[in-house]
Amino acid sequence: MTEQDPYAGDSNSPGFLRALKAPFAALSAALHTRLELLVVELEEERERLKQTLVLTLVVYFGLSLGVILLTIFAVVLFWEKGWIIAIGTLALVYLGIGVVAGLALRNRILTRRGLFTATLAELSKDRDRLRSSSDD
What value does the mean pLDDT take over residues 21-34? Answer: 80
> 59 in a domain, yes or no?
yes
Helix segments in 78-116, DSSP class H = 83-110
The boundaries of the domain holding residue 107 are: 14-135
> 4 in a domain, yes or no?
no
Count the domains in the chain: 1
What value does the mean pLDDT take over residues 65-86? Answer: 87
Does the pLDDT value for residue 114 go beyond 60?
Answer: yes
Supply angle C-alpha 123, 129, 132, rounded to 5: 140
What secondary structure letter does DSSP report for 10? -
> 65 in a domain, yes or no?
yes
* pTM recorded for the entire structure: 0.49
